[in-house]
Amino acid sequence: MEEMAEAYVDYALQMPHEYELFYTHSRLMSPKKGRGAPRPIRESRPNFAFTEQLLCKRLGGARGDHTQTALTLWALLHGTCMLMLRNSIPEGHEEALRDACRAGVKAVLETAERSRT
């Protein structure tokens, strides 16, 4: 998981236009809700399904058991990426933000591991 998180942020920083283009138009890939409960995110976001799958390998259980943890990680990683891409963090603090993101990923995973035991 930690390697996936690093790769996610690295990709966003190395390919900022592609990253932003994807998220600008990502709703177009989502099927309309229709009636009833929304479809699982994994059905329209392969990266989300992959994250749930990695969590299953690490923690056991089914993909649906890890949706909240996957959402938490996505929010943390995407927020970090956008802060850096939009130059919202003061210059010179980029590595501190990356370190904070790494610490956040570690904390989320440790919490998920504790809740499974």
Q: What is the pLDDT of residue 22?
A: 84
Instruction: Give the whole-angstrom CA distance, residue 108 versus residue 88.
Output: 24
Which among 68, 79, 90 has a CA at the least distance from the CA of 9?
A: 79
Angle at 72 between CA 87 and CA 28, to 5 degrees: 75
pTM of the predicted protein model? 0.88
Q: What is the pLDDT of residue 46?
A: 85
Q: What residues have CB less than 8 Å from 106, skipping those under 6 apart? A: 2
Q: How confident is the model at residue 29 (pLDDT cuts 50, 70, 90)?
A: low
Instruction: Give the whole-angstrom CA distance, residue 17 versus residue 73.
Output: 22
Render pLDDT for 53-99 as a digit per residue (tens, 0 to 9). Answer: 999 999 999 999 999 999 999 999 999 999 999 999 999 999 999 99
Amino acid at 70: A
Render pLDDT for 8-18 as a digit per residue (tens, 0 to 9). Answer: 999 999 999 99
